[in-house]
Amino acid sequence: MPDKKTAENALEPMSKIQVKFIVNNKDINVTVPVTYTLLDILRYELKFTGTKEGCGMGECGACTVIMNGELVTACLVLASSLEGKNVITIEGISEMPSAKPIIDSFVKHASVQCGFCTPGMVVASYALLSKYESPTNQQILDGLAGNICRCTGYTKIVEAINEAAVELSKNKKAEVK
Amino acid sequence: MLRDFKVIKVNNLNETLQLINSINEPYRFICGGTDVLVKAKDNPSYAKLLVDISSLAELTGIEERKSTFVIGSGVRHLQLIKYPAFNKDYSALVQAVSNIGSPQIRALGTLGGNIGNASPAGDSIPALMVFDADIEVRSLNSNRTIRLQDFFKGPGRTVLEKNEIITKIVVPKFEGYKSGWKRLGQRSGFAISKVSSAAALSYSTHPNGSLKLTDIKIALGAVAPTVIRVAETEKFMKAEQTLTKSMLKKACDILKSEIKPISDVRSNAEYRTAMAAELFSQIVEETVPVLK
Domains annotated on chain A, with CATH = 11-89 (3.10.20.30), 96-176 (1.10.150.120)
Cross-strand partners of B30:
B52
Q: What is the rounded average pLDDT of the residues B133-138?
A: 98
As a whole-number percent, the residues of chain A with pLDDT over 90 amount to 86
Residues from chain A that touch B10, judged by Cβ atoms under 8 A, are: 11
Query: CATH second-level architecture of B61-172?
Result: 2-Layer Sandwich (3.30)
Q: What is the rounded average pLDDT of the residues A40-62?
A: 97
Residue B191: pLDDT band (50, 70, 90) is confident
pLDDT of residue A152: 74
Residue ranges of chain B whose CB lies within 8 Å of a chain A CB: 1, 3-10, 15, 19, 30, 32-34, 37-38, 41-42, 49-50, 52, 54-55, 78, 101-105, 107-108, 189-190
Evaluate if residue B205 carries a pLDDT over 80.
yes
Q: Find, among B16, B4, B8, B113, the residue nearest to B48 by Cα.
A: B4
- C-beta separation of A71 from A88 below 8 A: no
Residue ranges of chain A whose CB lies within 8 Å of a chain B CB: 7, 11-15, 17, 34-35, 37, 56-59, 61, 64, 67, 70-73, 76-81, 83, 124, 127, 142-143, 145-147
What does pLDDT average to over chain B? 94
As a whole-number percent, the residues of chain A with pLDDT over 70 amount to 94
Q: Find, among B105, B107, B123, the residue nearest to B75 by Cα.
A: B107
Lowest mean pLDDT, pick from A4-8, B72-76, B103-107: A4-8
**Rounded to an integer, what distance in angstroms lies between the CA atom of residue A139 and that of residue B137?**
38
CB contact under 8 A, B189 and A145: yes
pLDDT of residue A10: 58
pLDDT of residue B190: 66
**Rounded to an integer, what distance in angstroms lies between the CA atom of residue B165 and that of residue B146?**
12
**Rounded to an integer, what distance in angstroms lies between the CA atom of residue A93 and that of residue A82?**
20
User: What ipTM describes this predicted complex?
Assistant: 0.92
Residues 6+ apart with CB under 8 A from B281: B248, B249, B252
pLDDT tens digits, A65-116: 999 999 999 999 999 999 999 999 999 999 999 999 999 999 999 999 999 9
DSSP 3-state of B54:
coil
Residue B185 or B154, more confident: B154
CB contact under 8 A, A61 and B78: no
Evaluate if residue B201 carries a pLDDT over 70.
yes
Q: Find, among B200, B182, B168, the residue nearest to B123 by Cα.
A: B182
The alpha carbon torsion through A49, A50, A55, A59 (nearest 10 deg) reads -140
pLDDT tens digits, A12-32: 899 999 999 999 999 999 999
pLDDT of residue B1: 56
**Rounded to an integer, what distance in angstroms lies between the CA atom of residue B127 and that of residue B80?**
12
Q: What value, to the nearest 5°, has the Cα angle with vertex A74 and ends B39 and A85?
A: 115
B178-287: CATH topology is: Enolase-like; domain 1 (3.30.390)
Residue B44: pLDDT band (50, 70, 90) is confident
Q: What is the rounded average pLDDT of the residues B190-204?
A: 90
Residues from chain B that touch A57, judged by Cβ atoms under 8 A, are: 38, 41-42
**Rounded to an integer, what distance in angstroms lies between the CA atom of residue B66 and that of residue B156?**
33
The 10 Å CB-count burial string (b at 16+, else e) for B74-101 is bbbbbbbbebeebeebbbbbbbbbbbbb
**Rounded to an integer, what distance in angstroms lies between the CA atom of residue B109 and that of residue B122?**
12
CA distances in angstroms from A7 to A2, A130, B23, B120, B290, listed in the order given: 9, 44, 14, 39, 62
**Rounded to an integer, what distance in angstroms lies between the CA atom of residue A69 and that of residue B28?**
28
**Rounded to an integer, what distance in angstroms lies between the CA atom of residue A76 and that of residue A169?**
34
The alpha carbon torsion through B230, B236, B241, B243 (nearest 10 deg) reads -70
Interface test with chain B among A72, A83, A125, A142, by most B beta carbons within 10 Å = A72
pLDDT tens digits, B215-274: 999 999 999 999 999 999 999 999 999 999 999 999 999 999 999 898 888 888 999 999
- Facing B52 at nearest CB: one of A61, A80, A127: A80
Long-range CB pairs of A64-69, under 8 A, 24+ apart, other chains included: A64/A119, A64/A120, A64/A123, A64/A124, A64/A146, A64/A147, A64/B104, A65/A38, A65/A89, A65/A90, A65/A123, A66/A93, A66/A123, A66/A126, A66/A127, A67/A38, A67/B107
The minimum CA-CA distance between A149 and chain B, rounded to whole Å, is 14
Handedness of CA B262, B266, B270, B272 (dihedral sign): negative
pLDDT of residue A6: 42
pLDDT of residue B284: 97
Interface test with chain B among A15, A32, A70, A81, by most B beta carbons within 10 Å = A81
- Facing A13 at nearest CB: one of B8, B15, B42: B8
DSSP, residue by residue, A123-176: HHHHHHHHH-SS--HHHHHHHTTT---TT--HHHHHHHHHHHHHHHHHHHHHHH
Check residue A37 and give left, alpha or beta (phi > 0: left; psi -120 to 50: alpha). Answer: beta
Interface test with chain B among A8, A35, A55, A121, by most B beta carbons within 10 Å = A35
